[in-house]
Structure 1
């Protein structure tokens, strides 16, 4: 907790600072002020968590300073100190939003109780500001704009921004996947604990494509601020690296430091676009965005096809998987790949598709073909006698995703209630019926955007959306860009 002490009497300032330091709490003295004008200048520069302010000071009394200071440091908590127990003073102070009105001289016990309350209040403020920061970022990513973000940023005058993106690769079941992401989120929380302040924001959130992001912004100050940020990002990587095991791999990508929120959002989109490179240059590693940007286009393309293939495998999309396998076979035959790249691709298959047998000796295409055979075998079983209810539902979704399919229709066909089917589907797959259907439709739409010249309206209809506007909204939420932008990127 950063504290500013404003009092024209030196003895009073020294006494209060001494008591604060003796309280054995996490408190740093941000500065001192001897009059109202000094207080305003200090507020603007320091953005303290708490300001202890004497009522009677020269040039500007404490109440006037608070009234003006709230605009300079809107989230600072105010504690009024006075030698006068006058009701009008107290009422005015509380009307201005003061946290507490205290009479001099303060006792240590009384100060301790006030500090405990202040810490609780400040933690709540930090959490609210972090939540707002996260909300604005997600709104900007999903909608292309974020009302209120400019005001939020300018209010605290943030001048530096950075974002990390962590991909999770695993062949674990959906329930285990959710547990892995929960552990990842908790590890990140532990790493960033204590970093938020009135001049620093941290937001942790999951993108619609499944990656976990950590966004940070802070005011430019002493060099140690940047150093502390590097220490924190290092801590995040070391903590999540300890979570890695034979089933789950985490890959972290760090952006540059940007001077504005727009730069950070653009950097995040660049990382999302290049993240599939991990299939070629290595999972279980930490990269900078600059490292990814230096990779040749051929590696980026191979990484994209590899990640699509593993995604198709997880979603039992046999025809899509075979299409990706054919392209990978062609790329391996026509392009040069180093032994290290081949090793990284094998590792990606191992984690993504649970393939350990003959991993070191078999050709990549042999390994992938074996999985294609497994998908075909599963598909035949499904088309014959479905092994379970949810497999039948998934098969129906894949066959009829372009029509007006609903969980109510499927439940009626299975002679069960929609609520029971919805609950069972979520338990078995780790996601909701609607999200699964949307993900499949967007996946099909991306294929059409990449391989045809159909207009967006026609593509929306072909994947089951009669409202182009609704389709575009869902596509942006999933991919972070408009369908037309995706088409241009896919054809570069």
Structure 2
């Protein structure tokens, strides 16, 4: 997007040009003018998206230039610069069609806000600000930055949120699902593109445990309309989740419901992850609301059985069939304990999960604890007889993961896609990675990127924006925030100090 600057002060033009060059948006300064006559020539030649115009210039002043310029370049939007004493002139400029006015001296944040407000209907600007929202949301969810760093009047503090976590369960011993997972991710991101609008924010993110999640947020200023638009996005997302479910994979959606501010959203997402095993009992393969899981949270027999089942089937995914057999023995007591309070709905949901996770097991609604335990043991024995050497050992999985991160750190990389490539579950790989390295995947990736950024900062003359892109960040502002959190200084100040 093109903009032109008209101001008779060299220092002002230089400052604005420098601030624009550091912005995330793809603004190009197409020309500069020192007076109104030169500005009119620029407008004819460049037809810019935005013109930043000083009211007081020698010869033809800013107001007259705007009046004539509207005829010469009708699609240009106007942003004026003024002093406190020029307020009446500013009012007149607004009547002429100026979108925003700025008081000198202007700060980078004020200029960027004004440019966004001036050109917010542009699809490119909407996408840019939504990508920034997604980056900040990911950093907040992984504890890389604190919510107190966000604008107190912004969406993370004052907005309303909805979230959904996608639990993707595939059968033990099933084929790698990297391609299908990548396709599902693409479909979800396509939903954000279809529904993105001014005043709402939409993101597809990876949670610390490796699960995919969709998040929608809206500003309080648009109220019910924002809620309606975000709800439409989630309807589309749920359709994609149903389409992604098949015999080879079942997608269960855990929904947060409406939350006020990021803190409540984060607490509910954490609650859903802590109670994720309860999906086996209350709607496996469908949509489960936060309140539905919370209503079962006090039933310890469900949590115990759910977690033992999760561990057992992770052993199957990893080919550790002897471990599965040992866990199957423990499961019999847990199943009997649950059976005393089980409802018919819980039995149907649980048996649906077991039949999906272990193809070949056949359970009826009347199967008792003994029959379920026997089926699980028999299944483990059959798998043990079919045992083949695993391609990936536990210790090798982390080393391969580290090699992959080292090669692809500058790209968009998530633990889910690496887990698919290694044919293990994201939660298993996340746990194993933390155990072996002492930190989460996202913190490791961020530390690696910051180290590479430091090398480029001190060893090259690349701009901050170029360095951010070279280490995997499209947003200079987001990169600067993470760099400052890591090193305690802005990148430019760090370069000067060292």
Which deviations, in whole Å up to 9, do the C-alpha atoms of 1:203-227 show, x marking residues without a partner? Answer: 1023353422011221113323223
Q: Say which of 345, 350, 364 aligns to 2:350.
A: 345
- Does the 8 Å contact 1:141/1:477 carry over to 2? no
Q: Say which of 292, 298, 301 aligns to 1:298.
A: 301
Task: Give the deviation of 1:473 after TM superposition.
Answer: 3.9
- Say whether 1:265 aligns with 2:270: no
1:59 aligned partner: 91
- Say whether 1:371 aligns with 2:371: no
Unmatched segments (≥5 aa) in structure 1: 1-49, 80-97, 100-117, 409-425, 446-459, 479-492
Change (3 A) 1:371 1:238: same
Change (3 A) 1:367 1:139: same
Which deviations, in whole Å up to 9, do the C-alpha atoms of 1:144-177 show, x marking residues without a partner? Answer: 2416873367446742122111111222877652
- Does the 8 Å contact 2:171/2:357 carry over to 1? yes
1:284 & 1:325 partners in 2: Cα distance? 23
For 2:333, what is the secondary structure of its paired residue? helix
1:428 & 1:271 partners in 2: Cα distance? 23
1:245 & 1:183 partners in 2: Cα distance? 14
For the aligned residue pairs, the C-alpha RMSD in angstroms reads 4.3
- Does the 8 Å contact 1:309/1:324 carry over to 2? yes
Which deviations, in whole Å up to 9, do the C-alpha atoms of 1:220-260 show, x marking residues without a partner? Answer: 13323223322332232133223333332211111132222
1:223 aligned partner: 224
2:318 aligned partner: 315
Q: Say which of 333, 336, 345 aligns to 1:333.
A: 336
Change (3 A) 1:128 1:334: same
For 1:209, what is the secondary structure of its paired residue? coil
2:455 aligned partner: none
Change (3 A) 1:247 1:134: same
Change (3 A) 1:178 1:75: farther
- Does the 8 Å contact 1:442/1:475 carry over to 2? no
Matches within 5 A, 1:189-200: 189-200=189-200
Task: Give the deviation of 1:405 after TM superposition.
Answer: 9.0
1:256 aligned partner: 257
- Does the 8 Å contact 1:172/1:247 carry over to 2? no
For 1:287, what is the secondary structure of its paired residue? strand
Task: Give the deviation of 1:355 after TM superposition.
Answer: 2.7
1:431 aligned partner: 421
2:78 & 2:270 partners in 1: Cα distance? 45
Change (3 A) 1:427 1:131: closer
1:113 aligned partner: none
2:145 aligned partner: 146
Which deviations, in whole Å up to 9, do the C-alpha atoms of 1:286-336 show, x marking residues without a partner? Answer: 111111000123223322222222222111122432343223210122332
1:405 & 1:219 partners in 2: Cα distance? 41
2:184 & 2:132 partners in 1: Cα distance? 22
1:106 aligned partner: none
1:58 & 1:429 partners in 2: Cα distance? 57
Change (3 A) 1:375 1:444: farther
Unmatched segments (≥5 aa) in structure 2: 1-74, 81-87, 402-415, 446-498
Which deviations, in whole Å up to 9, do the C-alpha atoms of 1:434-487 show, x marking residues without a partner? Answer: x99994693598xxxxxxxxxxxxxx6xxxx4xxxx414459889xxxxxxxxx
1:41 aligned partner: none
- Does the 8 Å contact 1:174/1:429 carry over to 2? no
Give the TM-score of the pair, scaled to structure 2.
0.56
Which deviations, in whole Å up to 9, do the C-alpha atoms of 1:167-189 show, x marking residues without a partner? Answer: 11222877652233233223323
2:433 & 2:189 partners in 1: Cα distance? 36
1:182 aligned partner: 182
For 1:61, what is the secondary structure of its paired residue? helix
1:138 & 1:232 partners in 2: Cα distance? 19
Give the TM-score of the pair, scaled to structure 1.
0.57
How many residues align structurally? 335
- Does the 8 Å contact 1:51/1:76 carry over to 2? no
